[in-house]
């Protein structure tokens, strides 16, 4: 599926999804994208990274995406103009800011009808996270994509958040105890630095089990 959804549409889709949400980030090839077809979010890294993908290549992968999956473009300290150009080419639904972007840039993206996820590299004061104008916040370790986690016991915010950093099939149940709105998995879905379809499917299966437990609670 191609064709970007606006901020209100993305918010409405997410509101109707069961929690915890699952985001598979750093998709670069068709096998991984196909395995992640049932994820709540599919993440594409446009910033410089070993997982970087060109907007045109992301568009190709998204042509077969499930319409219920929200596509997310990850940027680090990029200009608003370049962000808008990239997501228009790729047909991306939402933007994840993972650098030192000011709140003013979030407001600029909102004005363009873009749903914004703001990543914070922990530790960050809870007050700073709470007052972010982003639609959703993401709490990550100090080294995103490294496979390292931070001390989840230090999370003390009331707003919904995605949890990232060192997550895999092995520790999702433990992380679930902290009540995040969802999980962002990248390196934990890889084998030797490459997205592993079997690991992605296992993560999604665990995610579905956690959704059922929350619904039954």
Q: Which residue has the tokens 């992605």?
A: 200
Rg (CA), the chain: 16
- What the block records as the tokens of 66 is 């499930």
- Per-residue pLDDT tens digits of the chain, which is 217 residues long: 557 899 999 999 999 999 999 999 999 999 999 999 999 999 999 999 999 999 999 999 999 889 899 999 999 999 999 999 999 999 999 999 999 999 999 999 999 999 999 999 999 999 999 999 999 999 998 765 556 788 899 899 999 999 999 999 999 999 999 999 999 999 999 999 999 999 999 999 999 999 999 999 8
Q: What is the pLDDT of residue 150?
A: 84
d(CA 72, CA 52): 13
Question: What's the pTM value of the predicted model, to 2 decimals?
Answer: 0.95
Nearest C-alpha neighbor of 136 from the set 6, 16, 10, 52? 10
Task: Tell me which of 40, 93, 135, 140 is the catalytic residue.
Answer: 140
What are the chain's domains?
A: 7-212 (3.20.20.70)
Q: Are 189 and 24 a contacting pair, CB within 8 Å?
A: yes
- Residue 205 neighbours by CB under 8 Å, 6+ apart: none
Q: What is the pLDDT of residue 71?
A: 97
Active site residue 25: yes
Task: Tell me which of 6, 25, 38, 135 is the catalytic residue.
Answer: 25
Helix axes 55-62, 80-90, angle to 10 degrees: 40
Active site residue 140: yes
d(CA 139, CA 153): 12
What does the DSSP assignment read for 85-108?
A: HHHHHHT-SEEEE-S---HHHHHH
Q: What is the pLDDT of residue 2?
A: 57
């Amino acid at each position: 599926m191609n064709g970007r959804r606006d901020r209100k549409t993305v918010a409405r889709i997410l509101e109707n999804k069961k929690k915890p949400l699952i985001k598979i980030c750093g998709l670069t090839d068709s096998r991984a994208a196909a395995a992640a077809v049932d994820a709540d979010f599919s993440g594409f890294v446009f910033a410089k990274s070993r997982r970087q993908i060109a907007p045109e290549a992301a568009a190709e992968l998204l042509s077969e995406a499930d319409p219920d999956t929200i596509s997310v473009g990850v940027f680090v300290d990029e200009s608003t103009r370049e962000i808008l150009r990239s997501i228009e080419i790729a047909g991306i639904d939402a933007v994840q800011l993972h650098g030192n972007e000011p709140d003013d840039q979030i407001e600029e993206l909102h004005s363009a009808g873009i749903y914004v996820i703001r990543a914070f590299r922990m530790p960050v004061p809870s007050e700073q996270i709470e007052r972010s104008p982003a639609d959703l916040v993401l709490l990550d370790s100090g080294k995103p994509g490294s496979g390292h986690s931070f001390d989840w016991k230090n999370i003390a915010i009331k707003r919904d958040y995605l949890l990232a950093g060192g997550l895999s099939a092995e520790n999702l149940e433990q992380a679930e105890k902290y009540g995040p709105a969802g999980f962002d998995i990248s390196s934990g879905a890889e084998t030797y630095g490459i997205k592993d379809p079997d690991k992605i499917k296992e993560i999604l299966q665990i995610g579905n089990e956690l959704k059922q437990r929350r619904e039954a609670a």
